[in-house]
Every structure is written in C-alpha cells, then in structure tokens.
Homo-oligomer: A and B are copies of this chain.
Amino acid sequence: MKRKPTIHEVAERAGVGIGTVSRVLNNHPAVRPETRARVLKAMEELGYTPNPHARRIAGGRSYTVSVLLPFVATEFYRRLLEGLEGVLLEKRYDLALFPILSLARLERYLESTTLAYLTDGLILASYDLSERFEGGRLPTDRPVVLVDAKNPQYDSVYLDNRLGGRMAGAYLARFPGAVFAIKVEEEPDRVFRHTVFSERMAGFREALLEAGRPFPEDHLYVTRLSPEGGRLALRHFLEKASPPINVFAGADQVALGVLEEAQRLGLTPGKEVRVLGYDGHPFTEELGLSTVAQPVEAMGARAAQLLLERMQGYAGPPRAVRFEPTLIERSSTAPSKEAPYVP
C-alpha cells in the first residue's frame, strides 16, 4: 500500500505553496476562487486527506470530537449519533466514540495521556456527572456539552421527560379500561444512573391523578429494558384486569414486547390492549405503535452546534436547551380513524 499523499504533493500538483493548500483546508477567506478550485482538484485527484495528528500538533486542533456515551446498545444512541454526526461531519469534524464501561475508564478518558482528551471537544451523553466529580465539573479544559442530561455548569440539551410522561398519562386516561404502566429499571451496576425513566413515570402518575384515574401500585410493573420485559408485563397485567386495558410501556423496546405477547395471546392492539411506547424510534412506524416521540436526532444536532460554537471560542454562560416530545397516535391505541386524538 502506498503512502498517503501529503500537503506538499498537493501543493506541487496545484502549482502553489503549501501555505495556500493549508488555507483552503481551513476555509481561509483570503484565497482566490480559481486557486481554491485548483487546489481542491489536486486534492481530489490525489485522494488527499489531511493528517489529524499533524493538524493537532501544528494548529492545536485535531478536528475530532469525543463522544462519551453509556455502553448500552440502543436505538436511542444510534439516533443521537446520527444527529451529532450530521452537523459535525459537515464542518469536517470527526467523531471518536468512548463507550463508558466503567468509572475507571471514564477517568482514564479524561487523563491527559489518552487520545480522547486530546480531541477538541467533548459530548457527554445521558450522564448526570454532578455527583461523580468534584464541583460537578469534568477534569478537562476542553469545551463540554451534555446531551440527554442537564447540568448547570455546562451547555445542556435535554428532553422534558416529565412532560412526556404527562402526555402519556393524559392520553391514556381518555380510554375505558384499566391503566397500567411499565417502568424500566435502572441497572444497579451502571456507572452513572440516569433518571429519564423515573421522570417519565412521575409525569405519568401526575396526569392520571389530575384526570381522576386510579393507578394502584400493582398496576406498575418494573423490568429491565428488553422486549421480553414487556411480554412478562402484559401477562402480569392480564392477571389484574380483563381487556380492554391500557398500557404505557415507558420505552419502545418494551412496548415491542407487549405487542408481541398480545399477538401471541390473540389480543388486538388498539382494541383489547392499547399500547403506548416512548421514544419514537423508526421501527414504531411499521409496527403501528403509538409512541411519545423524542426528536433524538434534532437533540444531537443541537448539541453538536453548541459544541461547535464553544470550540470556536464562544465563552458565554452555560446554555440549557429544552426539547419537547410529541405524541404520535397509531393503530396500537386507535385502530380506527374515528376518534383522532386532540389534546
């Protein structure tokens, strides 16, 4: 395999100095359009791509951003990364992912030796770090943006999960039949714990209360995040009440299992068993699963923008960007078009 072309070869081919090549690389305005075009062409022909290590050494920027995220494999993080990547790649930034498998690892990430620390900025997903670090601040001088989490010390992009829970409660309260809910359990051994599931459930209870609908304790089923948890939950609920019943599944993954089990039992979703998910993941559409949708990609994109601004020197106070969920009604709660939902 032959060596990667360098800036020198590009310069030679384009008939310019290496400084000029560097300028087009960095979108410096002081380059004549024709010159720029020639350089771009040379890069194209050579298959040139800049060496981030050299950029880091020379200019102090490596054009890569670290994303620290929980080591849980869900559609949520897939979508979040899509949102982040969308805006970052466009600005020619690269992402380095750092799944947090343990606290020791997180700390190592933040040590100065590791590459993670040597990137230009950090996105921290889903963790409330205030309890873990002194003063709630990460030991880094790089800009940091939180997403799916909130902290007064950093720019944060988050969803109002309590509102989402309230929407779910108000919606299901309209229907006849008992109301049930599934709460996703936080893993006890998870390095950091996030509170999204509790928040959803708190909002849900509030809304039911306001609607005057009873919600006895044994109408709540707690399980880990898995479709099988949803299956077990539905079996449990059917021992408590007869159809029609209404189930707020707390997460689309779990709602999927409720649908699977309903089908196995010959119960019609949207009729005998109304199921409402949470997340708005792509797969809900083809399943006809009603859901409280989070604009995950948009949240990721926004977080990336905030970080970009910080990396470009913005030094204002921490910003908190709040997103709201949307309830999407599909056949799992409303088989017919007769009664479209109007909040």
Contacts and interface: CB of A to CB of B under 8 A. Distances in A.
Interface of A: 1, 4, 49-54, 56-57, 62, 64, 70-73, 77-78, 81, 94, 96-99, 101-102, 111-116, 118, 141, 223-224, 226-229, 231-232
Contact of A53 (B56, B101, B112): B56
Contacts of A72: 73
A134 to B, nearest CB: 14
**How many subunits of this chain does the assembly comprise?**
2
Query: Chain A interface mostly helix, strand, loop or mixed?
Result: mixed
A64 to B, nearest CB: 6
B226 A53 contact: no
A127 to B, nearest CB: 15
A198 to B, nearest CB: 20
B73 A141 contact: no
10 contacts: A53-B54, A53-B57, A53-B118, A73-B99, A94-B113, A94-B114, A96-B96, A223-B228, A224-B228, A231-B232
A77 B4 CA distance: 33
Contact of A4 (B4, B52, B112): B112
A279 to B, nearest CB: 16
Contacts of A226: 224, 226-229
A69 to B, nearest CB: 9
Given A73-B72, A115-B64, A118-B52, A97 B98 contact: yes
Nearest to A63: B113
Contacts of A224: 226-228
Given A228-B231, A229-B228, A101 B78 contact: yes
